[in-house]
Each structure stands twice: as C-alpha cells, then as structure tokens.
Amino acid sequence: MNSSRRKFMKIAGLAALGWSICPSLASASRPLHSKIEDGLTADRWAMAIDTRELTQEIMDKAIEACHKLHNVPDIDSRQNIKWL
C-alpha cells in the first residue's frame, strides 16, 4: 500500500471542496421560495416602529424574547451580557 499524508490531504481537500460546491450548485437552479398568486409585490419593504407607543412592559417582553431566541443565559449578578 503506497500512501502518504500528503496524498491523503490532497484527496480529503478535493473531496471537501466537491461536497461544499456541489450542494450549492444544485440549489442555485431552483428558486428559494414559491410565488404566491395573490401575494403582495414590491421592490422594497420597510417596517416602522412607533417608539412613542412602547411601554417598559413591551420592551421587557421583546428583550426576553430576543434573549431566549439567541440563547443568552440569565445571570443573577452585575454582569450584563449583550450580543453584537
């Protein structure tokens, strides 16, 4: 058996490259979403939030939901964990 680390690394690298490129090429040919017949259409979408209507209770619920979604731990100390 004539094998070496260098030959193995070449084969493994080419295989990894092929596996990473092939799925992206297969998914590029099909649309990411289906078109809805009666759906809204626009070139650009936007969302506005009226901050005058926000209360501390609503902000606390939003912060709690964000922390839950991003798996931020709840630490009972003076530390304040933020995700950037």
Residue 71 lies in a domain: yes
In a domain, residue 40? The reply is: no
Look up the domain containing 62 and give its range: 51-77
Tally of domains in the chain = 1
Query: Is 64 a member of any domain?
Result: yes
Q: Between 72 and 54, where is the model more confident?
A: 54
In a domain, 9, yes or no: no
Q: Which two tokens stand for residue 26?
A: 């297969």
Question: How far, in Å, CA of 64 to CA of 69, rounded?
Answer: 9
pLDDT digits 0-9 by tens, 4-18: 888 888 888 877 777
What pTM did the predictor assign?
0.37
For residue 69, being part of any structural domain is answered with yes
Residues 15-67: pLDDT tens digits?
Answer: 777 767 766 555 555 666 666 777 777 788 888 888 888 899 988 998 888 88
Q: Does residue 57 form part of some domain?
A: yes
pLDDT confidence of residue 38:
77
Helix or strand (DSSP H, E) at 11: helix 5-28
